[in-house]
Amino acid sequence: MTAPVRLAINGASGRMGRALSTLVRGDRRFVLRRAVIDADSELVGQPLHVPSTPDTPHYMTGWTADDALDVVIDFSSPTGLAAALAHCRAHKVALVTGTTGLGEDQEHQLDAASRNIPILRAANFSLGVAVLTRLLREAVAALPDWDLEIIEAHHGRKQDAPSGTALALGTAAAQARGGTLDSLAVHARHGQTGERAEGSIGFAVVRGGDIVGEHTALLATRGERLELIHRATDRAIFARGALTAAAWLAGRKPGSYTIDQVLDRHA
């Protein structure tokens, strides 16, 4: 029987961190060794609710050299990620991260670290979205002359638009067409816009209610239309996807990996 993956969660007091801490309790693929939170969190010093064992971790505010880990899952902040990355590099620990808002220097640090440890980064850890991205890439390559629109919907509290997932879908489509998202994206239409520019990728945004997340890739041409749709109804899908990615990444060779590669579980 394969030994369980020794896991740490960075950003354990956040929404994703809490979801991961809950899901990992019943997941025999893992043993949770450390849960790291911000120093000012109200959870400092509180026990993490996992099965009681001699190795049961508590919420902690940092990293120590004696952490015996195989992989860290990070959903924290740029500062929190920097600390986790430093620990992972020093101790040859794999890193799965969904933290956003990184500066150019931190992007370079992650690229450099991937030469020493395995790193998997994703804007969205839903395996369904990963399949949607793959299908869209194939559809756009097969239908190069079709118009493409990406429509996304989220709850009314979401701060950014279009969503990171919508932009990632657009990036995949643009690359399949041999271009860049910056050169092909159309983010707003109002008034006398003129005809649709050939090869452009349009974005439409919906905000309202408690929509968890919906993404539609609409390909259209004369006489026919193709729609690829993903709807999320439970935020736990992102935590489940991150755990699947962590189990897949543990023990891999150093390198930069994507959620798309996780779909090929036995590769």
Residue where the block lists tokens 């390559």: 141
Catalytic residue among 154, 187, 190, 230: 154
Say how far apart CA 195 and CA 226 lie, in whole Å: 21
Cβ neighbours for 84, distance < 8 A, ≥ 6 positions apart:
8, 10, 36, 63, 72, 74, 76, 95, 97
Burial of 84 (0-12, 13-18, 19+ CB in 10 A): buried
What does the angle CA 242 – CA 107 – CA 252 come to, to the nearest 5 degrees?
45
What residue has token string 């120093």?
A: 39
Residues 6+ apart with CB under 8 A from 164: 100, 123, 124
Assess contact for 203 and 210: CB atoms under 8 A: no
Radius of gyration over alpha carbons of the chain, in Å?
A: 20
Q: Say how many Å lie between the first and final Cα of the chain, rounded.
A: 20
Q: How many CB atoms lie within 10 A of CB 218?
A: 17
* Burial label, 56 (beta-carbon count in 10 A; 0-12, 13-18, 19+): middle
Assess whether 154 carries a catalytic annotation. yes
Choosing from 158, 187, 215, 253, the catalytic residue is: 158
The two three-digit tokens of residue 184, written as one number: 């092909």
Please identify every residue annotated as catalytic.
Answer: 154, 158
